[in-house]
């Protein structure tokens, strides 16, 4: 019996852990999983709603860490999670993505001799000013099993000296959730509730500190929204970090004057999937949304200078537009004029990544070598 601690902390973690937990639960005689929520995100709209939408059980352990500087949040997570590890003594911990909870819990585990599996390993933006890039590099460097979602991830890990035996290409577990819940999502009335029609609006999300924590940068992005919303109305579920910054920088009044820009609170997972799949275009700086739009075939403009998800640009519908106002507006109008980028779905984004991950754990007693396990799987 393998005991696994599954860690969630922030919004993009829930839809990655849900399919893994559900798949582990299919083998109760082999696995004893337990769910730990660090509490990095805690608002109902950033956390609770995802438990309902994804059918996640109440966490076995809630650490209640909350917000803080990087040091405070990471350190408090480490202090709290170490106690959990000492009490429960799992064989493995499973961490996903690149948030502060990911590195904090991985670091705890490795120091206690508990094995770490990192899901969504190997992604690199090569931008070390991005806090997530540091979390990715460090987590990967101390993980025992590295589950990658795209082949570039394997190449990045090998280039950093991580041995092939630890690396396992399994595909994209976030897309498992998308495929599972997209049908249910179509039953929500998210579009009616906001008052928009299919393919007649753009969907916006924004929360990267580099975009929203600096008044001039945030104002510049709002300039682009001001110009685009005159042509295509924009639905903007606002991340709490971004709302706080818009208030602090006294930008709210200006935003309120844009009649084609609809600010709403962060929306639940099913509603968001519905808004995403029915949009004409998405403008975002999110990581996961670059992937979801590729699967939906919706053109995505990523308001960043780099991406850790190049496959969405090379194969999918994503365009890296950077932060130049003219470029962003031109690309958005290009899509509005019917010239949205088309793409394909990357390898392994088929809704079965969690199945492949759990097969690796099932075979661990037979072989600790990830490559052999993948080969055996066929
Ligand atoms: C975090 C992740 C980021 C991820 C994002 C997903 C890190 C370093 N960053 O960024 O990689 O893309 O989550 O959404 O881990 N807040 C609330 N309520 C909440 C949560 C946050 O009001 O439930 C506000 C607080 O003012 C907080 C701020 O948002 O200080 C930022 O939260 P934090 O978790 O530190 O970082 P995110 O920007 O959410
Ligand atoms: N999402 C959501 N509601 C929102 C915004 C995003 O359900 O209002 C979902 C989205 O579908 C995706 C995930 O949250 O599955 C992406 O999380 P986020 O953009 O916060 O983080 P990132 O991927 O940038 O780390």
CB contact at 8 A, 95 and 105: yes
Q: What ranges in the chain are assigned the alpha helix state H?
A: 11-24, 49-54, 70-88, 100-111, 131-142, 151-159, 173-185, 190-194, 209-212, 215-228, 240-248, 252-257, 269-277, 288-296, 311-314, 325-336, 353-363, 370-377
Q: Indicate which residues carry an active-site annotation.
A: 207
Phi, psi of 226 (to 5 degrees): -60, -40
Domains 2-171+350-374 and 190-336 share a fold: yes
Which one-letter DSSP state was computed for residue 239?
P
Tokens at residue 130, please? 């991005």
| pLDDT at 183 (0 to 100) | 81
Establish whether residue 12 lines the binding site of ligand 2, counting it when its CB lies within 6 angstroms of any ligand atom.
yes
Report which protein residue has its CA nearest ligand 1's atom 16.
240
Ligand 2 pocket test target in 131, 133, 272, 290 with most atoms within 8 Å of CB: 272
How far is CA 122 from each of CA 84, 137, 320, 364, rounded to the nearest angstrom?
Answer: 27, 8, 20, 21
Tokens at residue 263, please? 């600010």
Identify the H or E element spanning 235.
strand 233-237
Report which protein residue has its CA nearest ligand 1's atom 26.
241
Establish whether residue 205 lines the binding site of ligand 2, counting it when its CB lies within 6 angstroms of any ligand atom.
yes
Establish whether residue 50 lines the binding site of ligand 2, counting it when its CB lies within 6 angstroms of any ligand atom.
no
Establish whether residue 302 lines the binding site of ligand 2, counting it when its CB lies within 6 angstroms of any ligand atom.
no
For 190-336, CATH number out of 3.30.420.80, 3.40.50.2000, 3.60.20.30, 3.40.50.970 equals 3.40.50.2000
| pLDDT at 373 (0 to 100) | 53
Give the Å distance between the CA of 204 and the centre of ligand 2: 11
Contacts of range 153-161, beta carbons closer than 8 Å, 24 or more positions apart = 153/120, 153/121, 153/122, 153/123, 154/122, 155/122, 156/122, 156/123, 156/124, 157/121, 157/122
Write down the domain spans for the chain: 2-171+350-374, 190-336
Give the Å distance between the CA of 178 and the centre of ligand 2: 12
Ligand 2 pocket test target in 185, 205, 240, 242 with most atoms within 8 Å of CB: 205
* Cα angle, residue 253 at apex, residues 250 and 257 outer, rounded to 5°: 150
Q: What is the CATH number of domain 2-171+350-374?
A: 3.40.50.2000
| pLDDT at 184 (0 to 100) | 75
How does strand 201-205 pair with strand 233-237?
parallel
Give the Å distance between the CA of 87 and the centre of ligand 1: 28
How far is CA 330 from each of CA 21, 121, 255, rounded to the nearest angstrom?
Answer: 43, 34, 21
Question: Which ligand 1 atom sits nearest the alpha carbon of residue 100?
Answer: 15
Distance separating alpha carbons of residues 83 and 80, to the nearest angstrom: 6
Q: Which residue ranges have their beta carbon within 6 Å of ligand 1?
A: 10-12, 40-43, 46, 67, 73, 98-100, 131-132, 207, 239-241, 244
Give the Å distance between the CA of 98 and the centre of ligand 1: 12
CB atoms within 10 A of CB 350: 16
Ligand 2 pocket test target in 288, 295, 300, 309 with most atoms within 8 Å of CB: 288
Identify the H or E element spanning 31.
strand 31-37
Phi-psi region at 325: left, alpha or beta (left = phi > 0; alpha = psi -120 to 50): alpha
pLDDT tens for the chain, 378 residues long, are 999 999 999 999 999 999 999 999 999 999 999 999 999 999 999 999 999 999 999 999 999 999 999 999 999 999 999 999 999 999 999 999 999 999 999 999 999 999 999 999 999 999 999 999 999 999 999 999 999 999 999 999 999 999 999 999 999 999 999 999 998 767 779 999 999 999 999 999 999 999 999 999 999 999 999 999 999 999 999 999 999 999 999 999 999 999 999 999 999 999 999 999 999 999 999 999 999 999 999 999 999 999 999 999 999 999 999 999 999 999 999 999 999 999 999 999 999 999 999 999 999 876 656 655 554 443
Give the Å distance between the CA of 206 and the centre of ligand 2: 10
Establish whether residue 286 lines the binding site of ligand 2, counting it when its CB lies within 6 angstroms of any ligand atom.
yes
Give the Å distance between the CA of 112 and the centre of ligand 1: 28
């Amino acid at each position: 019996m393998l005991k696994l601690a599954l860690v969630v902390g922030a919004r993009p973690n829930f839809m990655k852990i849900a399919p893994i937990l559900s798949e582990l639960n299919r083998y109760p005689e082999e696995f004893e999983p337990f769910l730990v929520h660090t509490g990095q995100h805690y608002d109902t709209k950033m956390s609770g709603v995802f438990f309902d939408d994804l059918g996640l059980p109440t966490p076995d352990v809630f650490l209640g860490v909350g917000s803080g500087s990087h040091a405070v949040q990471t350190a408090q997570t480490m202090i709290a999670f170490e106690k959990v590890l000492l009490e429960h003594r799992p064989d493995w911990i499973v961490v996903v993505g690149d948030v502060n909870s990911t590195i904090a819990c991985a670091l705890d585990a490795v120091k206690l001799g508990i094995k770490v599996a990192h899901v969504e390993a190997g992604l690199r933006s090569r931008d070390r000013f991005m806090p997530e890039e540091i979390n990715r590099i460090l987590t990967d460097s101390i993980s025992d099993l590295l589950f990658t979602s795209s082949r570039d991830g394997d190449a990045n890990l090998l280039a950093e000296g991580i041995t092939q035996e630890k690396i396992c290409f399994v595909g994209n577990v976030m897309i498992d959730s998308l495929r599972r819940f997209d049908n249910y999502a179509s039953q929500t009335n998210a579009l009616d509730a906001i008052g928009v029609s299919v393919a007649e609006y753009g969907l916006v999300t924004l929360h990267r500190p580099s975009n929203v924590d600096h008044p001039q940068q945030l104002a510049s992005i709002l300039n682009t929204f001001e110009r685009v919303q005159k042509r295509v109305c924009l639905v903007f579920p606002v991340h709490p970090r971004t709302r706080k910054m818009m208030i602090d920088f006294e930008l709210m009044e200006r935003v309120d004057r844009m009649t084609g820009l609809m600010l709403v609170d962060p929306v639940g997972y099913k509603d968001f999937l519905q808004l995403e799949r029915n949009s004409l275009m998405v403008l975002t700086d999110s990581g996961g949304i670059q992937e979801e739009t590729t699967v939906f075939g919706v053109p995505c403009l990523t308001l960043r200078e780099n991406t850790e998800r190049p496959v969405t640009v090379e194969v999918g519908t994503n365009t890296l537009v950077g932060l130049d106002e003219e470029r962003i507006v031109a690309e958005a109008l290009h899509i509005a004029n019917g010239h949205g980028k088309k793409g394909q779905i990357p390898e392994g984004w088929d809704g079965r990544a969690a199945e492949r991950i759990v097969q690796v754990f099932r075979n661990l007693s037979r072989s600790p070598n990830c490559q052999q396990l993948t080969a055996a799987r066929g």
